[in-house]
Amino acid sequence: MLDLLLPNWPAPDRIGAASTTRQGGVSRAPYDSLNLGDHVGDDPAAVAANRALLVDALSLPADPLWLTQVHGTTVVDAARGTAGVRADASVAFEPGVVCAVMTADCLPVLFCDAAGTKVGAAHAGWRGLHAGVLEATVQALGGGGDLIAWLGPAIGPDAFQVGAEVRAAFLDADPGAAGAFRPDGERWLADIYTLARRRLAACGVRSVHGGGLCTCTERERFFSYRRDATTGRMASLIWIRP
């Protein structure tokens, strides 16, 4: 049985959304067991089986649009995108279209509006977050005023060690982001959840939920690239129910 995270957020009933964990699939170690990534060296048949299990478990109205993620800021319309398109976010404005991003430490962010007429999913590692992938997704959804966001499972603030250059890059864009970093010897510990919340607030998204998990330290539940290097990928998905 798939272990799923369901967002605790004030989304309309017609919105479906979930994040997967690593539990409930058929992949063997080191991809055990619900690996959804077809680019990490896992058996393609196992990945296909896991994706089929996901569609069935969530009663998805269609297969998700799986992206080729490149830590950039490109946002595509999931209703018109083709599988494997190079992008780090997708949006949808009609029922039955499933937006999805894959992660294994990076931050997945799901969006919908209060009326339930538009949805989006963004993949925000530190590079994409700094470059503006959340801002690009909010813009593609028409602005932040009526949006609701949910922060899915990502590497936590006690495990996300970065160099001084990463901290400097964020502070150059937003000096107030200093509070998202703590010294750790010659390096820094970064709070990607706080950084994302600041970015979302700056573009008008005031209803932000989720956070507080750590993919790196919760070994039994989550894949983590930082921890294991060779590992699987989880998915965060959102759609408007038909």
pLDDT (average), residues 124-152? 97
Q: Which fold has domain 4-154+204-240?
A: CNF1/YfiH-like putative cysteine hydrolases (3.60.140)
**Considering the entire predicted model, what is its pTM?**
0.98
DSSP letter string over 37-93?
Answer: -SSSS--HHHHHHHHHHHHHHHT-SS--B--B--SS--EEETTT--TT-B-SEEEE-
Q: What integer pLDDT is reported at residue 144 of this predicted model?
A: 86
Instruction: Give percent above pLDDT 70 in the chain.
Output: 100
Span 10-17, average pLDDT = 98
User: Structural domain boundaries of the chain?
Assistant: 4-154+204-240
Q: What pLDDT does 225 receive?
A: 98
117 and 82 Cβ atoms separated by less than 8 Å: no
Residue-level pLDDT at 101 = 98
Write the pLDDT tens digit of every residue in 142-192.
998 899 999 999 999 999 999 999 999 999 999 999 999 999 999 999 999
Pairing relationship of beta strands 75-77 and 107-113 according to DSSP bridges: unpaired
pLDDT at 1: 86
Share of the chain above pLDDT 90, in %: 99
Q: What is the pLDDT of residue 40?
A: 98
Which segment of 114-118, 141-145, 189-193, 230-234 scores lowest on mean pLDDT?
141-145
Q: For residues 114 and 145, which has the higher predicted lDDT (pLDDT)?
A: 114
The stretch 50-62 carries a mean pLDDT of 98
pLDDT at 98: 98
